[in-house]
Structure 1
Amino acid sequence: MFDPKILPVTRKVLNTPARMLVRLGVNADQVTIAGFLIGLLTVPLLAFEYYQLALVAILLNRLFDGLDGAVARRTQLTDAGGFLDIVLDFIFYSAVVFGFMLAAPEQNAIAAGVLLVTFMGTGSTFLAFASVAGKRGIENPAYPSKSLHYMSGLTEGFETILAFVVFCLWPQHFAVLAYVFAVGCWVTAITRIVAGYRTLKQPAAKPENRNV
């Protein structure tokens, strides 16, 4: 929901470190993979209830997620890089929830399972629409430099990370917080299904015929 408003600010902040990485010869895919590996550290950290360290890993992952795009814009934006970025993001999101389940399975397992199901709803609607939107050439003015068509919703990247931060700060209330966030995710999934279906039900624009 807030991603389009926050994006211009984060891009300005990340310009300087991105410039430094480019000078060092670091490419965007390397930043993406490094951030993903850091993000995966949240699973053992959460499992052993090192919540503050897990929060650091989560925030570093998000920092790298912003940096890879900044580096790509200074070098070359590629479909391969965009594909790698979004796939690893979705794996990271699910890994964080899995980590909370491992921390207290008797308390968190059902809530974590519910949240993972909702992530399937938000993720599948996002990726399915992006695939068809790319095929149809549907423009996305809110995210003009993204490799995929970003479908908006109540819970996007910023809201997901905010939820993770809250989970780490109050892990004893993970179950309740996860259910609350799951409701927001289902609102996103349902609105995307309705909006996506209505959009794609319209006839695709036919290319203009020009006489040469």
Structure 2
Amino acid sequence: MLDRHIRPFIDPPLNKLGQHVALMGLSANMVTLAGLALGLAAGLAIVFEAFFVAILLILASRLADGLDGAVARARGVTDFGGYLDITCDYVFYATIPLAFISLDPQAHGVVGAFLLLSFYVNAGSFLGFAVLAEKKKMRSDARGVKSLYFTGGLLEGTETIAFFLLLCLFPTAFVPLAFGFALLCLITAVARVALAAKVFRD
């Protein structure tokens, strides 16, 4: 919901930084994988209850996630780069809930599994829409130039990162926070299915 509104503010500095990174010889895929490594490290920090470190690593990971697109625009966008980016994103999105489940399986297990289920459903609705949008040659740059067609929703990347940071700030509130966010994820997925029914009706 917030992604398109913050794009005008974050894209210009990211594009400038991306040009410098590209001149250093780093590829967009290298930045993508670095972002994934930082995200995995954030999950490990959560398991060891180093929540402040996890916050810094999450922020650094998402900076890399935004930067890889800027580097790609500077060096040339590739289909594989877009594929790698979305794959690494979903690995990261699963890592943080899994870390909280590992932190306290008895208290967090069921709600954590429900949260991961909601992510899975939401991802399926998003990727399915993207496939059909490509088939229909639909294009949108509201959320920046992307390899896939990005549909809006109640919850997007910005809200998810804010949620992860909130979990790290208030880890004892994982159960109510995760349950509420999972419900919102499912609402987002249902809304996207309804949109698909309208857009792709033959």
TM-score of the pair, normalised by structure 2? 0.96
1:43 Cα offset (Å): 2.3
Identity %: 37
Work out the CA distance in 2 between the residues paired with 1:45 and 1:2: 27
- CA contact 2:32–2:85 (8 Å) conserved in 1: yes
Is residue 2:38 matched to residue 1:9? Answer: no
Instruction: Say whether the 8 Å CA contact 1:143–1:149 is kept in structure 2.
Output: no
- Return 63-72 or 135-144, whichever deviates more: 135-144
1:91-170 alignment, distance < 5 Å: 91-143=91-143, 145-170=145-170
Measured in 2, the distance between the counterparts of 1:183 and 1:10 equals: 29
1:1-212 to 2 correspondences below 5 Å: 1-143=1-143, 145-202=145-202
After superposing the two structures, state which structure 1 stretch, 189-198 or 14-23, moved more: 14-23
Kindly state the Cα deviation for residue 16 of structure 1 after the two structures are TM-superposed. 3.0
State the Cα distance separating 1:56 from its structure 2 match.
1.1
Structure 2 CA distance, aligned partners of 1:63 and 1:103?
25
TM-score normalised by the chain length of structure 1: 0.92
Partner of 1:210: none
Q: Structure 2: give runs of 5+ residues left out of the alignment.
A: none
**CA gap 1:164/1:139 in 2 versus in 1, 3 angstroms:** same
Deviations 1:159-211, CA, capped at 9 Å, x for gaps: 00000010000000011100111111111000001111221113xxxxxxxxx
Shift of 1:74: 1.0
The alignment of Structure 1 onto Structure 2 pairs a total of residues equal to 202
Which stretches of structure 1, 4 residues or more, deviate above 6 A after TM superposition? none
Equivalent pair of 2:7/2:144 in contact (CA under 8 Å): no
Q: Deviations over 1:77-118 (max 9, x none)?
A: 111101100111011000110001111111111111010000
Q: Is the 8 A contact 2:21 2:71 kept in 1?
A: yes
Q: In the aligned structure 2, how far is the partner of 1:27 from the partner of 1:43?
A: 25
Distance 1:71 1:5 in 2: 22
SS of the equivalent of 1:42 reads helix
Q: Which amino acid aligns with 2:137?
A: G
In 2, Cα distance between the equivalents of 1:16 and 1:93?
Answer: 27
Q: Structure 1: state its 5+ residue gaps.
A: 203-212
Separation in structure 2 between the aligned mates of residue 102 and residue 4 of structure 1, nearest angstrom: 34
Secondary structure of the 2:112 match is: helix
Amino acid in the other structure paired with 2:103: A
Larger Rg: 1
SS at match of 1:41: helix
- Letter matched to residue 104 of structure 1: D
- SS of corresponding position for 1:49: coil
Q: Secondary structure at the match of 1:201?
A: coil
Across the aligned residues of Structure 1 and Structure 2, the Cα RMSD in angstroms comes to: 1.1
